[in-house]
Amino acid sequence: MAVAPSPETYDQAGQGLPQKPATIGDYLIRRLQDYGLRDCFGIPGDYVLGFYSMLEHSSINVVGCCKEDHAGFAADAYARVNGLGMVCVTYCVGGLSLTNSIAGAYAEKSPVVVISGSPGLSERPNNPLLHHKVRDFRTQFEVFEKICVACTELHDPHTACREIDRVLDAAVRYKRPVYIELPRDMVKVVPQQSNCYRIAEPASNKDALQEAVAEAARLLATAKKPIIIAGVEIHRFSLQDQLLALAETLQIPIAATILGKSVVSEKHPLYVGLYEGAMGFDDVTAYVEDSDCVLLLGAFMTDINLGINTANLDPGRCVYATSEQLRIRHHHFHDVLLQDFLKELTAAKPATAKRPVLKRAKGDAKPFELKPDAPLTIARLIARLDAALDSDTIVISDVGDSLFSTTELTMHGRTEYIGPAYYTSMGFAVPASLGAAVARPQERTVAVVGDGAFQMTGQELSTLIRHKFHHICIVLDNKGYGTERFLHPGDFNEINPWQYHKLPEVYGGGKGYEVRTEGEFDAALTKAWTDKTVSLIQAHLSVTDKSQALGRLAERLSKKV
């Protein structure tokens, strides 16, 4: 049982013994630090200024963003890299602006702590019409109850510390966002009693675990063509080492879902590629679907992961293990933790047939050969970017062809690819790049974003410039919503063209490039790769250009829209 510390054990800066009793605000800051939180994103406002002042005097680095939903995307990406993220905003005008980005974090299992200031309790008698208020004082709280795994309002000094611990524990345990509402007259209130919140450590049912491992081992022992499909929870619960131990011990090849991309180094000898149903490479799809034992580990089989429901996996040949359920063929096992299942199955060492590993399908396997005068296409742009990638680079994609084309990149390390591959909210990539850069400032970040998505949130590039990060933003300029053109043509897919490459001048830093040919893109990328600054590359593409994956997706989705 983990015991949360008493609020009296910390001073205002969250260091050592107090010179005076800790307040609710002090305690919240210290508990965030205990979970490894080093940075916070957000925008201040009057209902949260008191808490912002405390953050400023703590060791937590506050990163101001251009807009609240941008801060939410940044905190989401930070959480995916760091293990926990935080966004802090004011009441309603700030909090309600966050709902889209936090909904995406919930859908894709990213643990973001949302802290919102609110009107003081002493301001609320007689239900006054205070600024920012909508309907009543519970409106914002009730909205976040729908998109967070746990919520609390710190309105009672006797329970505030226990509520903070309960909610933070839920974020880390379930890897989903949580919501803490902090009335502004409670920030400096000192609780009158010690806090001793006991966090119940989850444990597997030993009998269920033993039976599940035995059944999975029997299935593997008779298999001739086993495969592992690794998903997003391997990222979120930091189970990469356990996954590799299982795969390497039993010599089972590894595929990944789109949401799980870069769960392990894609240069690992057992890695075969992404499984995307009929959207993916034919040889990877055939290799996976020809398997007689499929270990789906930490994978949520969304419509995108399933290639718009074109995947063909027989449940009778599957072991489906996540943090929420364990199913082996048609048998369900309850109260078995994913990490325990991986550990014990590895220890069991079932005799497994060694299957020849598919050489990863990458289209033309030859080294990239530049055609300097050729018009730039998305396929050639991605091939050139792939040749440049190293283990010090994090790629962040937006949706549409930004997402589908970048899935063909070869990631060298773990959690070096971030994309909204389930919720698919446009405008994710640029603010998410800020979050990834703050989490890993020593690494280069590369955003691949469509021009339509960039027009939504691209101003967060100015924050990347302000903090002097090494960031490359590649804007795929096809003059509109390219993916939607292929799904359902119409003038509503067109947008006003911008001179994107000139924006660094507007933002007061960085460098801009405008490219139309392979040679121009090669020169711009080469320069941007070594410059320790923010670079924006405006890549002009034909309105009819698309990746092969988008072509396959559009063919299937267009029948449904």
> Which pair of structure tokens corresponds to residue 319?
């072991």
- Look up residue 423 and give its amino acid: Y
493: confidence class by pLDDT, cuts 50, 70, 90: confident
In this structure, whether the domain defined by 206-348 belongs to CATH 3.40.190.10 is answered with no
| Residue count of the chain | 561
557: confidence class by pLDDT, cuts 50, 70, 90: low
Distance CA 559, CA 468 (A): 46
How large is the average pLDDT for residues 345-372?
Answer: 83
Q: Give the tens place of pLDDT for each residue, 408-455.
A: 999 998 889 999 988 989 999 999 999 999 999 999 999 999 999 999
Beta-strand relationship, 39-42 and 511-515:
unpaired
Q: Give the tens place of pLDDT for each residue, 362-413.
A: 544 578 899 999 999 999 999 999 999 999 999 999 999 999 999 999 999 8
E strand or H helix that includes residue 535 = strand 534-540
The CATH number of 378-555 is which of 3.40.50.970, 3.10.100.10, 2.40.50.140, 1.10.10.10?
A: 3.40.50.970
In this predicted structure, the answer to whether residue 468 has a pLDDT above a threshold of 90 is yes
Do 2-199 and 206-348 show the same overall fold? Answer: yes
Given the structure tokens 């988008």, which residue do they identify?
A: 550
Q: Where are the alpha helices (DSSP H) in 112-159?
A: 139-145
> Which pair of structure tokens corresponds to residue 316?
């009778």
| Predicted pLDDT of residue 88 | 98
How large is the average pLDDT for residues 539-548?
Answer: 91
State residue 459 phi and psi, 5-degree precision: -65, -15
Task: For the chain, give the mean pLDDT.
Answer: 90
Q: Where is pLDDT greater, at 226 or 491?
A: 226
Q: Give the tens place of pLDDT for each residue, 261-309.
A: 999 999 999 999 999 876 778 889 899 999 999 999 999 877 666 655 5
Which stretch of 49-53, 155-159, 199-203, 387-391 has the lowest confidence by average pLDDT?
199-203
Distance CA 143, CA 150 (A): 12
- Look up residue 139 and give its amino acid: T
Buried b (16+ CB within 10 A) or exposed e, 396-425: bbbbbbbbbbbbbbbbebbbbbbbbbbbbb
> Which pair of structure tokens corresponds to residue 3?
């015991």
**Residue spans per domain, the chain:** 2-199, 206-348, 378-555
- Look up residue 8 and give its amino acid: E
E strand or H helix that includes residue 99 = helix 99-107
* Class for the domain spanning 2-199: alpha beta
| Predicted pLDDT of residue 559 | 60
